[in-house]
């Protein structure tokens, strides 16, 4: 394809502007160009954009967007990946039909052009890199089957051509070097596509079922897992560096796949946690299983911390029950192999040890730890607000949610302690770095914090004891507690929440001798005792799970 003249460029800009969402036009345009010329056109637009200014830059950005939108429009597939996944009999029958002819010809040709070098040998630019980079300019979603198919294509390309997605030297400005990770980023804009791509059970019903091992390949380590590309600098010697953008697309896609919504933007609330489909829960369950393979959940790539933290926070109910070892549904503390499912709703049943280690792994990021800490405290307090007006026989109606609150705060404080002791060189002041992100602290809400009941929110806001002090107290005493059966340090914040809740129920917590003979005063005291026991038990578990003992 020869260089595009200014006149041709303007004609193309207008045509794309007016017709990018028209299927017939988009297919005709791409059929005329073909994959090779489309890649070259995308590269030329990218080069011109890099050197343009003012209105010209805006027009070029508009062209990139509309050309990418035309690709999305032209490659749309009927049905859904859940019913007609690529590789299934139904999908192959569609490819052989008149409607599927363009898609088949386009993708078959792209498989050839995608592995060709469109740049110099010393700094290659492969077709898939340029193609995916062009697609990133779209402001419309790509079809779920198309994304699934393209994900498979790029993975196969790197297996057949090892090193194809390595960045050499400075790479190319505006180009996504790792096309696999780029496709995953595109999937995050279409959560159903991301869920289907990662679902360990595969997609489609027999005879159209197609399995996959995408999650294990992309998230796992060792044999049969992806070796993520690095940056290679050549000169007198060859230097290999970690790619600072590695796994960014994977993290976003996992957040979308496990939650069912697009990745959250900075400062954006997480909304009400759940509910989750069986497919989403399976992805979350398997993600935790892969990350904690060999009890390795504490070591998670930095670029996965925030998106996985958002995902874990969205499973607040399941986390709460697992950490508190509630009921038989979750099988806690050991967990179960399969997710739980009740009609359309589903959730995770991972072991308490794996959940805590993965929570610890993502908590190396301060904001992520603050998110998980506040989410679980808020959810536990929300459960407490649903208790009856009186403690009831044996005060169990109040003691049970207090038990859960203690267990959850014990677990979360232990995770924060481990962060400080392992990664902060024992500097207790680091807890304040975490706490500054808390939604009731300085600045905007932390990204991903779920929205729960108004009463719980009000009571947490009214609490006077900051959890950072609990984490600091826990860390300070960890060495002394190492062989203790109690692990009581850091419980003051838990007591404070129980006190605020009891006051809201009309208990006079300042009547130290219960001169009014209020039965709920007795129930409140029982709550504090119960919370202390479960708090200590949970911290004792953490000592084992996180390697203190």
Q: Where are the domains of the chain?
A: 78-259, 278-545
Closest to 132 (Cα-Cα) out of 169, 164, 87? 164
- What is the average pLDDT value for the chain, to the nearest integer? 91
What pLDDT does 440 receive? 56
Helices first, then strands: H and E counts in the chain = 22, 5
Q: How big is the CA angle at 339 (ends 334 and 341), to the nearest 5 degrees?
A: 130
Question: Would you state the pLDDT for residue 477?
Answer: 74
Name the pairing type of β-strands 231-233 and 167-168.
parallel
pLDDT confidence tier of residue 464, bands split at 50, 70 and 90? low
- For residues 77-97, one letter each, b for 16 or more C-beta atoms within 10 angstroms of the residue's C-beta and e for the rest, the string is beebbbebbbbbeebeebbee
Q: When comparing pLDDT for 453 and 193, which is higher? A: 193
Decide if pLDDT at 228 tops 90: yes
| C-alpha angle 278-406-255 in degrees, rounded to nearest 5 | 30
Distance of alpha carbon 449 from alpha carbon 453, whole angstroms = 13
Q: How many CA atoms lie within 13 A of 84 on its CB side?
A: 15
The answer to whether 364 and 303 have CB atoms below 8 angstroms apart is no
Residues contacting 488, CB < 8 A, separation 6+: 532, 535, 536
- Among 118-122, 299-303, 417-421, 428-432, the range of highest mean pLDDT: 299-303
The secondary structure of residue 450, as a DSSP letter, is B
Report the alpha-carbon distance of residue 135 to residue 182 in Å, rounded.
9
Residue 171's pLDDT band (cuts 50, 70, 90): confident
Please report which confidence band the pLDDT of residue 2 belongs to, taking 50, 70 and 90 as the band edges.
low
430 alpha-carbon distance from chain centroid: 25
Query: What is the mean predicted confidence (pLDDT) over 68-83?
Result: 96
Residue 423 is predicted with a pLDDT of: 59
Mean pLDDT for 298-320 is 97
Return d(Cα 325, Cα 486) in angstroms, integer. 18
**Cα separations (Å) of 531 from 153, 269, 302?**
53, 29, 34
The span from the CA of 75 to the CA of 147, in Å, is 10
Residues 240-291 pLDDT 10s: 888 899 999 999 999 999 999 999 999 898 889 989 999 999 999 999 999 9
CB of 66 within 8 A of CB of 74? no
Lowest-confidence region among 66-80, 362-376, 485-499: 485-499
Cβ 103 vs Cβ 75: under 8 Å: yes
* CA distances for 315 relative to 198, 250, 355, 381, 543, angstroms: 18, 19, 11, 16, 24
Would you call 151 helix, strand, or coil by DSSP?
helix
427 or 19, greater pLDDT: 19
What is the model's pLDDT at position 425?
Answer: 54
* SS3 track for 497-525: HHHHHHHHCCCCCCCCCCCCCCHHHHHHH
d(CA 77, CA 224) in angstroms, rounded, equals: 30
The whole-number pLDDT of residue 273 equals 93
How many CA atoms lie within 13 Å of 77's alpha carbon, on the beta-carbon side? 32
Confidence of residue 484 (pLDDT cuts 50, 70, 90): low
Confidence of residue 94 (pLDDT cuts 50, 70, 90): very high
Q: Residues 153-158: what's their mean pLDDT?
A: 98
| Cis peptide bond upstream of 333, omega within 30 | yes
Instruction: Please report the DSSP string for 82-134 in residue order.
Output: TTS-TTSHHHHHHHTSTTTHHHHHHHHHHHHHTTSB-S-TTS--BHHHHHHHH
pLDDT band at 445 (very low <50, low <70, confident <90, very high): low
- The whole-angstrom distance between residue 38's C-alpha and the CA centroid of its chain comes to 32
């Amino acid at each position: 394809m020869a260089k595009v003249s200014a006149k041709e460029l303007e004609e193309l800009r207008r045509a794309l502007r007016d017709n990018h969402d028209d299927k017939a036009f988009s297919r005709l345009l791409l059929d005329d160009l073909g994959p090779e010329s489309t890649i070259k056109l995308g590269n030329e637009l990218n080069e011109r954009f890099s050197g343009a200014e003012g209105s010209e830059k805006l027009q070029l950005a508009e062209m990139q967007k509309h050309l990418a939108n035309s690709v999305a429009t032209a490659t749309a597939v009927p049905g859904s990946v859940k019913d007609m996944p690529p590789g299934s009999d139904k999908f192959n029958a569609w490819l052989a039909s008149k409607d599927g002819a363009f898609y088949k010809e386009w993708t078959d040709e792209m498989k050839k052009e995608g592995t060709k070098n469109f740049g110099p040998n010393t700094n290659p630019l492969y077709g898939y890199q340029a193609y995916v980079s062009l697609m990133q300019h779209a402001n419309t979603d790509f079809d779920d089957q198309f994304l699934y198919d393209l994900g498979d294509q790029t993975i196969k390309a790197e297996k057949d051509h090892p090193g194809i997605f390595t960045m050499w030297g400075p790479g190319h400005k505006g180009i996504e070097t790792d096309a696999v990770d780029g496709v995953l980023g595109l999937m995050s804009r279409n959560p159903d596509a991301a869920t289907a791509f990662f679902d360990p059970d595969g997609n489609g019903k027999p005879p159209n079922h197609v399995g996959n091992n995408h999650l294990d390949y992309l998230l796992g380590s060792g044999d049969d897992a992806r070796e993520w590309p690095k940056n290679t600098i050549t000169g007198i010697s060859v230097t290999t560096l970690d790619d600072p953008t590695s796994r960014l697309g994977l993290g976003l896609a996992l957040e979308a796949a496990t939650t069912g919504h697009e990745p959250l933007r900075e400062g954006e609330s997480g909304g009400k946690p759940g509910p989750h489909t069986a497919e989403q829960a399976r992805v979350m369950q398997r993600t935790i299983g892969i990350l904690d393979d060999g009890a390795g959940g504490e070591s998670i790539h930095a670029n996965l911390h925030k998106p996985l933290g958002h995902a874990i926070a969205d499973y607040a109910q399941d986390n709460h029950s697992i950490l508190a070892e509630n009921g038989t549904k979750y099988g806690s503390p050991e967990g179960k192999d399969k997710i739980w499912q009740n009609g359309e709703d589903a959730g995770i049943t991972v072991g308490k040890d794996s959940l805590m280690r993965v929570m610890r792994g993502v908590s190396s990021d301060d904001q992520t730890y603050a998110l998980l800490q506040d989410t679980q405290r808020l959810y536990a307090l929300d459960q407490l607000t649903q208790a009856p007006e009186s403690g009831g026989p044996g005060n169990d109606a109040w003691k049970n949610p207090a038990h859960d609150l203690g267990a959850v705060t014990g677990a979360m404080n232990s995770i924060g302690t481990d962060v400080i002791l392992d990664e902060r060189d024992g500097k207790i002041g680091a807890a304040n770095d975490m706490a500054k992100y808390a939604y009731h602290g300085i600045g905007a809400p932390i990204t991903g914090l779920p929205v729960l009941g108004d009463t719980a929110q009000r009571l947490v806001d009214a609490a006077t004891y900051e959890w950072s002090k609990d984490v600091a107290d826990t860390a300070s005493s960890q060495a002394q507690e190492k062989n203790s059966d109690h692990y009581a340090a850091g419980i003051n914040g838990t007591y404070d929440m129980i006190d605020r809740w009891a006051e809201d129920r009309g208990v006079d917590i300042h009547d130290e001798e219960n001169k009014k003979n209020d039965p709920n005063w007795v129930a409140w005291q029982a709550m504090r005792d119960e919370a202390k026991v479960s708090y200590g038990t949970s911290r004792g578990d953490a000592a084992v799970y996180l390697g203190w003992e």
